[in-house]
Amino acid sequence: MNTDISLTIEFIRHTYKTNAFIPLHAPQFDDRESKLVNETINSSFVSSIGKFVTQFEQDIQSYLSSNSAVAMVNGTAALQSALYLAGVGVGDLVITQSLTFVATCNTIHHLGATPIFIDVSKEHLSLCPRALENYLNQHAELCDDGICRNKNSGQTIKAFVPMHTFGHPAELDKLLVISQQWNIPLIEDAAESLGSTYEGKHTGTFGRFAAISFNGNKIITTGGGGILICHDQADAAYAHHINTTAKVAHPFEFYHDAYGFNNRLPNLNAALGCAQMEKLDNYVKAKRRLASQYQSFFASSRFDFVTEPSNCRSNYWLNAILLPDPALREEFLVKTNEANVMTRPVWQLMHSLPLFQHAERDEQRNASWLAKRLINLPSSPVLKAD
């Protein structure tokens, strides 16, 4: 076996101090999670009404210093809600990156809109402001009615959605300028980046909307869950309303004033989330410590460790390396997984899936380069005993 690969396996086993299977990312619970979940069961408030839902929203809000937070059944629902509130509908266009998890694009599709794939930058692994500007300059126009349209089709470009890949923040200052110049709302897919900051400010608080995921593999989990962050309080109030069937408050009458959804996070899940939020700072610390151990280790190998972009502090949700060539990457994936150390390639690019192959896109030079070389490594936080 290639010595860099066997040394990597040895290093990971040494770091996690186990001979058993090492997953990519496993949640960690102790008595605190059991206590709060049991409290919910004993209270009988297990569904979407209960004190933990409100507390969890407040915990996230104060952690992010955001104006609002609306807890949802999962990150996908939160993102779909964000797009819906931004007015994305049938026939619209939404700009995003091809290097993302399929959920980003599914939400666009389910609203009847079509994605446009713009390249990522190699440093941020996220929507590249230069590529975005190139596209808009060539193919879009800001019309007199304030709406940005595709010059060819006349379709409205309703939003753009950068995704903070593996927790590394996008180039948010430049993206915000473009958002203002072209009057296109910025929606952050911050599913992976809870705890990451860009110039000291939390990801998820830059766009008009953002979605964060609490799936079992994310930095904290509620089992399944997500949260919608809105810049404007009025948007948050409406999001809350339509995600609880748009029922108008009344002691006994059922009156609904919009086509609602039922996407609120149950109290049972929120209880788990409240316990996890108490540990988030520790997780971020532990994950950054692990990342710096990986970084030192890979300094003397042929594999390049992916570090946080400048001016950013990443939660290092998933650690990643770049392999020099696709053949060696294949060998790395096979050998590590055979050795019970879980690794995986980055997602296949969305434009290469039959689902999205007809979507408009630019050259995807960086995304294609990255997609052939990226590998994710085990990234569960290694918590120090007290």
Ligand X SMILES: *Cc1c(COP(=O)(O)O)cnc(C)c1O
Interface with ligand X (CB under 6 A): 74-76, 100-101, 103-104, 163, 189, 191-192, 213, 215, 226
Q: What angle in degrees, to the nearest 10, is found between the helix axes of 267-277 and 51-64?
A: 40
- Shortest Cβ 119–ligand X spacing (Å): 17
Nearest residue to 290 (alpha-carbon basis) of 201, 219, 370: 219
CA distances to 252, 307, 320, 358 from 159, rounded to whole Å, are 39, 28, 29, 19
Q: Which is nearer to ligand X, 81 or 100 (CB)?
A: 100
- Shortest Cβ 24–ligand X spacing (Å): 12
- Shortest Cβ 220–ligand X spacing (Å): 12
CA distances to 78, 95, 118, 290, 345 from 5, rounded to whole Å, are 39, 38, 33, 18, 15
Helix, strand, coil share (%) of the chain residues, nearest 5: 40, 15, 45
- Shortest Cβ 333–ligand X spacing (Å): 20
Q: Which is nearer to ligand X, 185 or 226 (CB)?
A: 226
Q: Which two tokens stand for residue 137?
A: 């300059």
Q: Which is nearer to ligand X, 266 or 298 (CB)?
A: 266
- Shortest Cβ 159–ligand X spacing (Å): 15
- Shortest Cβ 324–ligand X spacing (Å): 26
Enumerate residues 6+ apart whose C-beta is below 8 A from 335: 1, 2, 5, 6, 9
Residue 291: in which H helix or E strand, if any?
helix 280-299
Q: Which is nearer to ligand X, 76 or 197 (CB)?
A: 76
Strands 187-189 and 209-213: parallel
Q: Which is nearer to ligand X, 75 or 182 (CB)?
A: 75
- 120 secondary structure, DSSP code: B
Q: Which is nearer to ligand X, 91 or 216 (CB)?
A: 216
Q: What angle in degrees, to the nearest 10, is found between the helix axes of 75-85 and 102-110?
A: 40
Helix (H, G, I), strand (E, B) or coil at 283: helix
Q: Which is nearer to ligand X, 108 or 163 (CB)?
A: 163
Distance between CA atoms of 199 and 222, rounded to whole angstroms? Answer: 28
Alpha-helical (H) ranges within 221-266 are 233-242
Q: Which is nearer to ligand X, 76 or 156 (CB)?
A: 76
